[in-house]
Amino acid sequence: MESRFQKIDLHMHTTVSDGTDTPKELLDNVKKAGIEFFSVTDHDAVKAGKILLGILGKEDPAFVPGIEFSCQDELGKYHILGYGFDPDHPAIQSALRHGHDLRMSKLDKRLAFLEEKFGFVFSKEDKNSIFAVDNPGKPHIANMMVRYGYAKTKEEAILDYINKAPGKSEHIRPPEAISGILGAGGIPILAHPFYGSGDELILGDEMEARLLRLIEMGLRGVEAYYSGFTKKMRVQMCELATRYDLYITAGSDYHGTNKLVTLGDTGLSEETEYPSGLCRFIDDILQK
């Protein structure tokens, strides 16, 4: 099937969560990259989408606000993307507040752990600046550690120190995120489906079982095209999407300089035509 857009990217982050581009800088970079349809999917936040809706002009790329919820249950971790919802609806606002509260609690515990375990002390001003971020995460702490000389790189800070914090991280559960998106009139999508916790790779029957559980909760689609996927992974995910009549989306997971991912790196450029699930998603989401 054909699409009205030659280049799309529906998964990216700004300074509202753990990206390094402001919403305005992201828009400028999206246009430079030749992307014709995009979404911003900050973690547990909708602020960047509102900012962009206020500055987009008639000649700018097509845009739909999005979100990415970090979820976890007894069987693993999941990132649930949402598109086309009313950002002010009580259903999604409730999930947003819960996700944000858990995120701030994790930040406090991680900083306390780094001081108690490794003696990493940060100034009151620097800690306050991180708590002032809309949705702070590991990269914010890691970048601060590098500035203080506690780690040579952001990656070292996360892997060798931050990730060693004891106890299970608290996240909202998948049904809460999915119902929040659906309740606000949106479409819930499983982000980078093959990736679980850390370096965990979920394939084959395990992937299908995982997907079926989420479909029962109300999941409507999968991010079958993603910067970290091989051709084989994309094919398998498209087959699963067809089998269960799911929408398909494509996203790079761009974070600016916080990740070695470029805008528009989704794997779609290798396709001669877009899959029907993606075309259907584009048509339906733009009608909302």
**Predicted confidence (pLDDT) per residue in 143-198, tens digit:** 999 999 999 999 999 999 999 988 666 789 999 999 999 999 999 999 999 997 66
pLDDT greater than 60 at residue 2: no
Phi-psi category of 39—alpha, beta or left, where left has phi over 0 and alpha has psi -120 to 50? beta
d(CA 225, CA 194): 11
Q: 271: which residues sit within 8 A by CB, 6+ positions away?
A: none
Cα-Cα-Cα-Cα dihedral sign, residues 9, 12, 16, 22: negative
Q: How confident is the model at residue 136 (pLDDT cuts 50, 70, 90)?
A: confident
Give exposure, 184-220, as e/b (b: 16+ Cβ within 10 Å): bebbbbbbbbbbbeeeeebeeeebbebbeebbebebb
Q: How far is CA 154 from CA 22, 161, 235, 253, in A?
A: 20, 10, 33, 18
pLDDT attached to residue 288 = 82
Q: What does DSSP assign to residue 258?
A: G
pLDDT attached to residue 198 = 65
How many Cβ atoms are within 10 Å of 96's Cβ, its own excluded?
Answer: 21
Q: How confident is the model at residue 100 (pLDDT cuts 50, 70, 90)?
A: confident
| H-type alpha helices, the chain | 23-32, 47-55, 90-118, 124-131, 138-148, 154-160, 174-183, 204-217, 231-243, 276-286
71, amino acid identity: C
| Of the candidates 200, 210, 269, the residue with the CA atom closest to the CA atom of residue 80 | 210
Residues facing residue 80 across a β-bridge = 69, 190
d(CA 32, CA 28): 6
Mean pLDDT of 80-97: 95
* pTM reported for the whole predicted model: 0.89
Q: Residue with structure tokens 């009151």?
A: 124
pLDDT attached to residue 24 = 97
- Of all residues in the chain, the percent with pLDDT exceeding 70 is 97
Residue of 182 and 287 predicted with greater confidence: 182
Q: How far is CA 186 from CA 38, 219, 285, in A?
A: 16, 11, 9
Contact 3, 31 (CB under 8 A): no
Q: 73: which residues sit within 8 A by CB, 6+ positions away?
A: 173, 174
Mean pLDDT, the chain, whole residue set: 93
